[in-house]
Amino acid sequence: MTEPEWLEGTDPDVMLDFMFEKTSRRKIELYTSGSYRSVWHLLTDERCRQKLDMRDRYFDGLATEAALDSAIRAADDIPHHVWLAAWDSIPPRRHVQVLQDLFGNPFRPASIAPACLTPEVVALAQTIYDTYAFDRLPVLADALEEAGCDNPEILNHCRGPGPHVRGCWAVDLVLGKE
């Protein structure tokens, strides 16, 4: 895959294959969750949502394997076709957008000056991350700018329309996550 192919992104399967060996299991799993969250309204059984929430927590190191197994078992009797129908209803473009939000431009990884990572900036990013409040990313961009960040990639991404999901590359950069 080339940089223009990534940036123009049309085939999420090719993009995911490209990133698969270059990233963590956490990011791959957050791709799945982030994609499902785009059709959250189709997952009306609360056990589906609890399973996805627990997956996010587990792959962030915030839940035990036993807690994940319990959430998976609780959702075991949800027919497979429910999950498949939800997944199949996600347009390919949305999958591409989620991948681009998670990985940014893998050909030009962004960096941030440590001085920009003030306690206020980090706390705001953590709150956004923990509460899925990605609509507050423009506020994070403002806080970063006030702290001295002048990286247009980061600022533009935070002010962009998204979609943004847990594992967003800009938030992960602020929080020091991979």
pLDDT at 178 over 90: no
Residue-wise pLDDT for 9-24, tens only, equals 999 999 999 999 999 9
Range of the domain at 29: 3-103
Alpha carbon distance, N-terminus to C-terminus of the chain: 21
Q: Provide the domain count of the chain.
A: 2
Exposed e or buried b for every residue in 77-112, given b needs 16+ CB within 10 A?
eeeeeebeebeeebeeebbbbbbbbbbbebeeeeeb
Which among 73, 103, 133 is the end of a domain? 103
Cα 101 versus chain centre, distance: 6
Q: State the average pLDDT over residues 47-61.
A: 94
Which among 41, 70, 103 is the end of a domain? 103
Which pLDDT does position 17 carry in this prediction?
Answer: 96
DSSP letter string, 142-167: HHHHHTT---HHHHHHHHS-----TT
